[in-house]
Amino acid sequence: MAPEEWPIAAPAADRAVEPARPAGRSRLDIVRSDFFLDPEKRLTEQERALMTALLDSLVAQLADDLRAELPLGLAAANDGDGSRLLGDLRSSGLLDLPQLVDLLLRRADEERIAVAVRAHGDVRPNRHLQSLVAGDSPDVSAAAMALILARGRRRDRLGQPLVELDDLATPTARSLAYAIAAGLSRGNPWSQAPLADAVEAVLARHDPRRSVATLIASLATAMEHSGMLDDIRLGAAAEAGDVGLLAEGLARRAAVPTADALDHLLVGGNGRLVLLLRMAAASRELAARILAALGELVGIGNPGREIATFESLSDDEVSAARQRFGHATEYRDALSALEAVNGKRGA
């Protein structure tokens, strides 16, 4: 049976099918930007779907929280169409908050990797964390349990991932909350003052110390102080698909910023991941475990070649890379831009 094509247009009389989007000049700026995006850096359909679902659920939950703080009459008046609220916020650019988008992308990548790892073997979620809970260190046990509970709260009834307002830094949380309040007040000018009060009530409960990133950092600190940030436990995190804890642990052992460690882990090809592993003084056995568990998922098509790179890196090269990570981000970005230009001139 031949596959049925999606209709690119519909007869004027057929109102049950949406016509194709117009090819007018009103779309030209967006089309040009989209057409010339680097294919290697574009979102995959899976990333886009996960990020969209995370954002939609966050906005819906925050809108409900704001409505709950309103007087009864105003709450009913503002209980409008959620899709319209999202559409308004998207088209106005109010959701284009860098830290929010970064959080959505990180959460989507973590979920993609964790799901893929579990699909390829008998991997139970949180088994590596449960082993820490059952360990001898009370600080590690408490931190691991706090992380398990926080991650559990960030799942809906169907097991789909969520993000919470606590996962955002205070400035981003304020911007998002007031943007949603403004969207809820459209068409109801009398509710603007109560909505502003509702935002402050919701933000009074906002606590970044309860964010997943902070709880991961607290667990890594406890493990480090207890001498448990070792190859065995980092290998277990990798085999569980827990890239958040793995990146935090490697960052601490390598003495580099967590964001940089996560970048080198999630885009690990061309020697990036193995360089991080060398800076973290990982053994060859740990490198092999991580590459076997995550290599294909982080863009490594030839693990054998990456192991060869891992072994060929000199101590001076590793030391120079670590020193570079110690520079300010702006300085490193400038160096990278100049190196890219010089590379093109030499090509």
Task: Report the share of the chain in percent with pLDDT over 70.
Answer: 88
pLDDT value of residue 6: 36
pLDDT digits (tens, 9 = 90+) for 95-130: 999 999 999 999 999 999 999 998 877 778 889 999
The H or E element that residue 92 is part of is helix 82-92
pLDDT value of residue 326: 80
Residue type, 213: A
Residue 34 banded pLDDT, cuts 50, 70, 90: confident
Question: Which of the residue ranges 44-48, 143-147, 295-299 has the most confident prediction, judged by mean pLDDT?
Answer: 143-147
Asked whether the predicted pLDDT for residue 289 surpasses 70, the reply is yes
Any residues with CB less than 8 A from the CB of 15 and at least 6 apart, and which?
A: none
More confident residue, 121 or 253: 253
Residue 283 banded pLDDT, cuts 50, 70, 90: very high
Domain definitions of the chain by residue range = 45-106+163-206, 243-339
> Backbone phi, then psi, for 20, in 5-degree steps?
-65, 155
The H or E element that residue 153 is part of is helix 138-153
pLDDT value of residue 343: 59
pLDDT value of residue 125: 80
Pick from 4-8, 319-323, 334-338: least confident: 4-8
pLDDT digits (tens, 9 = 90+) for 7-32: 444 444 444 444 445 556 677 888 88
Of 170, 325, 155, the residue nearest 256 (C-alpha): 325
Asked whether the predicted pLDDT for residue 89 surpasses 60, the reply is yes
pLDDT value of residue 196: 92
Residue type, 228: M
pLDDT value of residue 28: 83
pLDDT value of residue 17: 46
Residue 52 banded pLDDT, cuts 50, 70, 90: very high
**Is residue 180 within 8 Å of 66, Cβ to Cβ?**
yes
pLDDT digits (tens, 9 = 90+) for 220-233: 999 999 999 999 99
Question: Does the reported pTM lie above 0.95?
Answer: no
Of 113, 101, 99, the residue nearest 243 (C-alpha): 113
pLDDT value of residue 77: 59
pLDDT digits (tens, 9 = 90+) for 186-195: 877 777 889 9
Asked whether the predicted pLDDT for residue 48 surpasses 50, the reply is yes
Measured distance CA(94)–CA(62) in Å, rounded: 15
3-state SS, residue 115: helix
Q: At what angle do helices 284-294 and 231-239 cross, to 10 degrees?
A: 10
For 143-177, letters b (16+ CB in 10 Å) and e give bbebbbebbeebeeeeeebbbbbbbbbeebbebbb
Residue 4 banded pLDDT, cuts 50, 70, 90: very low
Average pLDDT estimate for 40-57: 92
Asked whether the predicted pLDDT for residue 132 surpasses 60, the reply is yes
pLDDT value of residue 18: 46
Mean pLDDT of the chain: 88
Residue 53 banded pLDDT, cuts 50, 70, 90: very high
Measured distance CA(218)–CA(142) in Å, rounded: 10
